Amino acid sequence: MRRALSLAAHGPATGINPQVGCVLVDTDGTIVAEGWHRGAGTPHAEVDALSRVHTNGAAAGIPPGLTAIVTLEPCNHEGLTGPCSEALITAGVERVVYAVSDPGEHSSGGAERLREAGVLVDAGVLAEEASEAMRIWLTATRLRRPFVTMKWASSLDGRVAAVDGSSKWITGTAARQRVHEQREQSDAILVGTGTVLADDPGLTARGDGGELMPHQPIPVVIGERAVDASARVFRHPQTPIITGTRDLPAILADLFERGIRHAFVEGGPTLASAFVTAGLVDEYLVYLAPVLLGGDQSALTDIGVGSIGEARRLSIDSVERLGDDLLVVARPVPVGAVDGKKDT
């Protein structure tokens, strides 16, 4: 299963499909083929692996007794490709071992179909590791909205700008380049109309030399104010989405229907605070620069916390040094958790 997880990581991190890997082993436990999903419209991991089976140079035929080890429950629906459950049954695979059940509204049910056909099925192998690897896709699929990553850069005292509003640049080049890499790993980049009107950002993902990276997130502008047609966002390689509303749940639901599974929020304090208050943030990326600014230009405004007991607790995933700056990666602590762990 760990080999299948490493194969899955070769697939694209963006788009509507999860990263999935598959390993086929024979009755002796020898790997006979491997596969992974390469993106929408391409063969799923199981079919990719089956297509790579070779039997001593034979022109056709799949050896009997194969076990398929796959990171996600084989799908059971007809989409851009056929159901993997049927492909495994047709190929005569005798056993399927998978890590995580498919939460998809239309794609789940593969395990049940396999069992109906007489295939031995085992679930939950390395489920925790696989769930973490697929956290973005699983969260989006279960909640029917994109996984939301919130990013801001601030001084050590939590300010995103000086008293006069200037903020360019709080962090150094290494931190800023990491942000561009994170943009590229997202399906969409979300900002408020205030940011667009004040800063006129390009919202592209760029390399060290300023060149456009291969994947560009779709720019999404949230708010009710009009955006002038001359704004740089309209010159983005992707057609921008102008929401015309501040209804965050409705916006996220619409983005999900458009195939967006990972939203990268880079708005100012007003938009950031709205997402936090609504409980719509799944991951925080906080860049901290070794400077002090003072004043009232805080990263967040009112988020509905009236006392320390109402504080929104976070669990720190990692802390990384980027030049003189720090990147703190954190996620919300679930309600009912104690010290970052679920209260049982």
Domain CATH for 66: 3.40.140.10
Query: Which parts of 115-210 are beta strand (E)?
Result: 120-123, 147-155, 188-192
Number of domains in the chain: 2
Please say if 46 is a catalytic residue: yes
Do 11 and 121 have their domain in common?
yes
Span 285-305, mean pLDDT?
Answer: 93
Do 17 and 128 have their domain in common?
yes
CB-based burial, 17-50: b 16+ in 10 Å, e otherwise: bbbbbbbbbbeeeeebbbbbbbeeebbbbbbbbb
pLDDT category of residue 168 using cuts at 50, 70 and 90: confident
Domain boundary among 140, 165, 180: 140
- pLDDT for 70-115, tens place per residue? 999 999 877 667 789 999 999 999 999 999 999 977 777 899 999 9
Do 181 and 121 have their domain in common?
no
Over 80: is that where the pLDDT of 5 sits?
A: yes
Q: How does the average pLDDT of the chain come out, rounded?
A: 91
Distance (Å, whole) CA 298 – CA 162: 10
Do 173 and 214 have their domain in common?
yes
Distance (Å, whole) CA 226 – CA 114: 53
Distance (Å, whole) CA 265 – CA 152: 9
For the four alpha carbons of 78, 45, 14 and 281, in that order, the dihedral sign comes to positive
Q: Are 255 and 188 in contact (CB under 8 A)?
A: yes
Looking at residue 169, its pLDDT comes to: 83
Span 23-40, mean pLDDT?
Answer: 92
Over 70: is that where the pLDDT of 129 sits?
A: yes
Over 60: is that where the pLDDT of 221 sits?
A: yes
Token digits for 11? 């697939």
Q: Are 326 and 288 in contact (CB under 8 A)?
A: yes
Looking at residue 244, its pLDDT comes to: 93
Distances (CA, A) of 62 to 4, 118, 138, 155, 271: 20, 18, 32, 60, 55
Looking at residue 339, its pLDDT comes to: 55
Distance (Å, whole) CA 77 – CA 91: 17
Looking at residue 217, its pLDDT comes to: 97
Do 259 and 220 have their domain in common?
yes
Do 22 and 107 have their domain in common?
yes
Do 165 and 309 have their domain in common?
yes
Q: Out of 161-175, 237-251, 273-287, 319-333, which region has the weakest mean confidence (pLDDT)?
A: 161-175
Task: Classify residue 12 by burial, with Cβ atoms within 10 Å: 0-12, 13-18, 19+.
Answer: middle
Cis peptide before 169 (omega within 30 of 0): yes
Over 50: is that where the pLDDT of 59 sits?
A: no
The phi and psi torsions of 295 (rounded to 5 degrees) equal 80, -165
Do 163 and 115 have their domain in common?
no
Domain boundary among 140, 164, 199: 140
CB-based burial, 64-98: b 16+ in 10 Å, e otherwise: eebbbbbbbbbbbbeeebebbbbbbbebebebbbb
Q: Show the domain range for 80.
A: 2-140
Neighbours of 298 (CB within 10 A): 16
pLDDT category of residue 278 using cuts at 50, 70 and 90: very high
Do 61 and 194 have their domain in common?
no
Looking at residue 39, its pLDDT comes to: 86
Token digits for 241? 């989405």
Q: How many helices (H) and strands (E) does the chain have?
A: 10, 15
Do 118 and 154 have their domain in common?
no
Query: CB-based contacts of 78: which residues, under 8 Å, 6+ apart?
Result: none
Do 206 and 270 have their domain in common?
yes
Domain boundary among 140, 175, 210: 140
Q: Which of 34, 46, 184, 266 is catalytic?
A: 46
CATH number at residue 274: 3.40.430.10
Do 125 and 174 have their domain in common?
no
Query: CB-based contacts of 297: which residues, under 8 Å, 6+ apart?
Result: 159, 160, 161, 162, 163, 165, 167, 269
For residue 212, the cross-strand partners are: 206
